[in-house]
Structures are given as structure tokens and as C-alpha cells.
């Protein structure tokens, strides 16, 4: 059994939900020789997050942005932490609701995502940044 690990920088994206499945797969070319294992993707930030959802219709990702803006409103006068503007505290809360990592089985030499599943980068700041993610895979080379 082996562990592979790769840190990559995702280019800056506008606020919203973005498919990054291909970028993740391309970062781990070794996975193609692998039969069975697990892949984890971790984001090193507290105002952006990762999740898995629908990979086809772009309006799903627009609805995610709309929903999370309603569920975690800006401008709540009860926020104490707003140093970096009205999107600051909501970005932290959205990141906690969605999570800082996703883990996906590797099966038959590929990420075992369902037909409609893709990996989302969730950018919660108005002015995103380059975002650093770490991809780690632990694997057998034979089927067990």
C-alpha cells in the first residue's frame, strides 16, 4: 500500500460554485495504475469549501449560490466579526456547513464518482483568491 500526495493551486474564481473534477484527476496521474483505494481533497482555507454535487446543469450551481446567500445572510447586525466586509463572516459559516474536504473511493483505477457527481470548489468571498488544495490518495495496486 502507498500514499501519494500533491498540493495544487486553483486559479482565482469568482464567488460561486465551480466544477474542479478534471483538475483534481489531472493532478494525480498515478491513480490510473491503481486498483483500489481512497482519494481525499482538502482545502487550506476558511472562506472557501469543497463539496460533491450535480456535474451537468450549470443552473444547479447558480441555485447553490442563491440558496446559500439566503441561508447565511450578509449584514446580520449580530455578527461581531466583519473586518473584511459583509461577505467575511458568511464565508466562514458557509465553509463550515459545506466542509473543508471531500473523500472519494478509487475503484477499478478511477475515482468512483456516480454518473452525476462532480467536485465543487465553493468560493464564498466576493474577491476570491488562488486557493490551495492538497490531494492525497492511499491505494493498493491489486484488487482485494
The residues binding a second copy (CB under 8 A) are 1-5, 7, 36-38, 40, 42-46, 51-54, 57, 59-60, 62-64, 66-67, 70-72, 76, 78-81, 83, 89, 92-93, 95-105, 107, 112-117, 120, 132, 134, 136, 138-140, 144
Q: Name which of 33 and 78 has its Cβ closer to a second copy.
A: 78
The three cell numbers locating residue 54: 450535480
Q: How far is the CB of 13 from a second copy (least distance, A)?
A: 17
Q: What ranges make up the beta strands (E) of the chain?
A: 2-10, 16-19, 36-43, 48-54, 101-107, 110-111, 117-123, 131-140
Find, among 113, 144, 142, the residue nearest to 25 by Cα.
Answer: 113
Q: How far is the CB of 69 from a second copy (least distance, A)?
A: 10
The neighbour count for residue 59, using CB atoms within 10 Å, is 10
Q: How far is the CB of 93 from a second copy (least distance, A)?
A: 5
Amino acid at each position: 500500500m502507498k500514499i501519494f500526495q500533491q498540493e495544487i493551486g486553483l486559479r482565482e474564481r469568482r464567488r460561486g460554485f465551480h466544477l474542479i473534477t478534471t483538475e483534481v484527476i489531472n493532478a494525480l496521474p498515478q491513480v490510473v495504475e491503481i486498483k483500489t483505494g481512497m482519494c481525499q481533497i482538502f482545502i487550506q482555507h476558511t472562506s472557501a469549501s469543497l463539496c460533491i454535487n450535480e456535474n451537468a446543469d450549470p443552473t444547479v450551481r447558480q441555485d447553490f449560490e442563491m440558496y446559500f446567500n439566503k441561508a447565511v445572510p450578509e449584514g446580520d447586525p449580530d455578527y461581531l466579526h466583519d473586518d473584511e466586509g459583509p461577505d467575511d463572516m458568511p464565508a466562514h459559516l458557509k465553509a463550515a456547513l459545506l466542509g473543508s474536504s471531500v473523500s472519494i473511493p478509487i475503484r477499478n483505477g478511477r475515482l468512483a464518482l456516480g454518473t452525476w457527481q462532480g467536485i465543487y470548489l465553493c468560493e464564498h468571498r466576493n474577491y476570491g483568491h488562488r486557493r490551495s488544495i492538497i490531494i492525497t490518495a492511499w491505494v493498493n495496486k491489486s484488487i482485494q
